[in-house]
Amino acid sequence: MSVRIILADDHKLFCEGLRSMLEGQPGLEVIATAPDGHTVVHLARELLPDVVIIDIGMPNLNGIEATRKIVTENTSIKVIALSMHSDKRFVVEMLRAGASAYLLKDCDFEELTGAIIAVMDGNFYISPAVAKVVIKDYVNNLQEESASAFTVLTAREREVLQNLAEGKTTHQIAAALFVSEKTVESHRRQIMSKLSINSVAGLIKYAIREGLTTLE
């Protein structure tokens, strides 16, 4: 059974060339093409394709909004973004809209067919050329949304916190870290301020929860 595909791109020559290449592959069938976002949304609704290959920059309705509408109406349709844009905002927003794959227009044809196979198998595919953009954004979001001892505190502050949680005195911590007791006290105040914790008991609970120390 063939994979039924709709192509959406406002560059007619590119669209027809890609259609010819795809139809030359066994198991792939291009059932329609669309020159703008509104048209591809309508065609997806009427023809129920397996895959929509879509550009981002299109007239009337851009590819991001078109993808959101298509996926919202029918989650079984897989959308592959094929764009000239490698900028983070385009990649991330397209994936947020519901695309299952993102490739650049200068990719090899074999990469595109591989992406079609991947999304039909229920997987995601991101071109290596843009993958680093997505990974970097993901890591940044983790740091912003899930603040932890490893993002809020400095390495030395974590070291002081661990020692405090393990019951060491200021004098013992100072000796172990080769700093003055005044410096240790300064670190403790800074830690409490950053974490909005006002007691040693609270610091101990936090250190255990964050994996800096254990109850043993």
Angle at 88 between CA 66 and CA 54, to 5 degrees: 30
Angle at 26 between CA 102 and CA 33, to 5 degrees: 55
User: CA-to-CA distance for 115 and 141, rounded, in angstroms?
Assistant: 26
Q: Which CATH number is correct for 149-209, 1.10.3720.10, 1.10.10.10, 1.20.1440.230, 3.40.50.720?
A: 1.10.10.10
Q: Where are the domains of the chain?
A: 3-143, 149-209
User: Amino acid identity of 102?
Assistant: Y
Full pLDDT tens readout for the chain, 216 residues: 799 999 999 999 999 999 999 999 999 999 999 999 999 999 999 999 999 999 988 888 889 989 999 999 999 999 999 998 887 778 888 888 999 999 999 999 999 999 999 999 999 999 987 887 777 766 666 555 556 777 788 889 988 998 898 899 999 999 989 999 999 999 999 999 999 999 988 998 888 887 787 665
Q: Do the two domains 3-143 and 149-209 of this chain adopt the same fold?
A: no
CB atoms within 10 A of CB 172: 14
List residues bridging with 16 in a β-sheet. Answer: none
Angle at 99 between CA 67 and CA 112, to 5 degrees: 115
Q: Which CATH architecture has domain 3-143?
A: 3-Layer(aba) Sandwich (3.40)
Question: Which backbone phi and psi does 102 adopt, to 5 degrees?
Answer: -140, 120
User: CA-to-CA distance for 18 and 23, rounded, in angstroms?
Assistant: 9
For the record, the structure tokens of 81 come out as 């973004």
Maximum distance among all alpha carbons in the chain? 77
